[in-house]
Amino acid sequence: MNPIKTLGQFIIEKQADHPYAKGELSRLLRDIGIAAKIVNREVNKAGLVDILGQAGSTNIQGETQQKLDIYANEQFIAALKNGGECCIVASEENEEIVMLDTDVSLDAKYIVAIDPLDGSSNIDVNVSVGTIFSIYRRQSTEGRATLDDVLQKGVNQVAAGYIIYGTSTMLVYTTGRGVNGFTLDPSIGEFCLSHPEMQFPKTGHVYSINEGNYVHFPQGVKSYIKYCQVEDPATNRPYSSRYVGSMIADLHRSMIKGGIFIYPVTAAAPGGKLRLVYECNPMSFIVEQAGGKATNGYKKRILELDVNSLHQRTPIFMGSEEMVLKAEEFMAQSEDLPNISLVG
């Protein structure tokens, strides 16, 4: 029987690969792991909301119920504040950056960008949701860190990961040396290494896109969808269509089975819907580290896009390399480039 390796043990082992590391990043990852377990506990009880009380109401203990995405945001920020390794949190839930004003946090050298509960509309229907995080090193050397320290290109990420609260709960992360996945064993309350060195299959036969928006897609996306639906046994077509509506779940499936996830520009979202800093950059870092490809559909790596604002959006095409390249071919053939700067 193989011995279990916990996330904590794995992080310490990996730290030994960097003889000069002082352990700050390891502690930061550990803090995120702890907050993930707390959020997991609440997400698992979400179905009890009718018994325990809706958001905004008061539960049986007299505590006011919170929306889970706000709860998750507070838990991650509190864990990062207590840990003292992070000076700024940039979150989907906060309009502005959150400065962590403790004595130790002021000099901390890491910045964390986070989407505390992505796909949260799926909670009401008991479908997987997740947390996405991204870690940068602070660039400024004097005074307090600022928004400029947050607005770094994705290539500067030191680490990134996601937690998927699904049929089982998993934490998947990279520090730029491959991608490893850990499954939460509820009986011992630990994330245990279950998916070492995750790799995207080079190609797949599942495409993932909100096809309800079809009429509003650029011609290149429409042509690619039609390509996916044509019968061609040699390339395993027609492909299957799967769309959970939680990017983490759709991407996680693609990483294990092969596939492509697309959220293009649409008429309703002319710059794309998904956010660069805390959704697309971290997922793209993981995708590339697992041998996949992540671009804006116009042959530009997501990780190289300029970051101009905290809640900036981008179209995204990511997944198995050959599928992304094929989709980009169709994009390049069509003339209707969107009226936004996508070249970064």
Binding site for Mg ion (CB under 5 A): 115, 118
Closest distance between ligand AHM and the C-beta of residue 213, in Å? 7
- Shortest CB 315 distance to ligand AHM, Å: 12
Given Mg ion, ligand AHM, none, residue 201, with its beta carbon under 5 to 8 Å by kind, binds: none
Closest CA to 343 of 320, 310, 314: 314
Report angle CA 174, 328, 285 to the nearest 5 degrees.
10
CA 63 to chain centre: 31
Q: Over the range 76-90, which residues count as b (16 or more CB within 10 Å of their CB) and which as e? A: bbebbbebbbbbbbb
Residue with smaller CB distance to Mg ion, 293 or 313: 313
**Strand 110-118 to 86-91 pairing:** parallel
Nearest distance from C-beta of residue 343 to Mg ion, angstroms = 24
When the beta carbons of 118 and 328 are compared against Mg ion, the nearer one is: 118
Question: How would you write 157-181 as a 3-class SS string?
Answer: CCEEEEEEECCCEEEEEECCCCEEE
Structure-token match 């203990």, residue found: 61
- And the tokens for 222? 């429409």
**CA-CA distance, 213 to 211, in Å (whole number)?**
5
Q: What is the maximum alpha-carbon separation in the chain?
A: 63
For ligand AHM, the closer of residues 84 and 272 by Cβ is 272
Of residues 118 and 321, the one with the C-beta less far from ligand AHM: 118
Contact 231, 205 (CB under 8 A): no
d(CA 286, CA 181): 11
Binding partner of residue 190 among Mg ion, ligand AHM, none, CB cut-off 5 to 8 Å per kind: none
Residue 247 binds which entry of ligand AHM, Mg ion, none, CB below 5-8 Å type-dependent: ligand AHM
Q: How far is the CB of 164 from ligand AHM (least distance, A)?
A: 11
Residue 66 CB, shortest distance to Mg ion, in Å, is: 18
Return the number of the residue (159 or 164) whose C-beta is nearest ligand AHM: 164
Which residues lie across from 110 on neighbouring strands? Answer: 86, 137
Which of residues 84 and 119 has its CB atom nearest to Mg ion in the complex?
119
* The entry of Mg ion, ligand AHM, none that residue 139 binds, CB within 5 to 8 Å by partner kind: none
Nearer to ligand AHM, 92 or 190 (CB): 92
Closest CA to 126 of 166, 155, 80: 166
The option from ligand AHM, Mg ion, none interacting with 199 (CB < 5 to 8 A, set by class) reads none
Residue 178 beta carbon to ligand AHM: minimum distance, rounded to whole angstroms:
24
Q: Least CB distance from residue 320 to ligand AHM, whole Å? A: 17
Is residue 135 a contact partner of residue 28, using CB atoms and an 8 Å limit?
Answer: yes
CB of 73 to Mg ion, least distance (A): 11
Neighbouring CB atoms inside 10 A of 217's CB total 21
Q: Which residues contribute to the site for ligand AHM (CB under 6 A)?
A: 92, 115, 118-120, 210, 245-247, 273
Structure tokens belonging to residue 283:
């997922």
Smaller CB distance to ligand AHM: residue 245 or 344?
Answer: 245
As to burial, measured by CB atoms within 10 angstroms (0-12 exposed, 13-18 middle, 19+ buried), residue 9 is middle
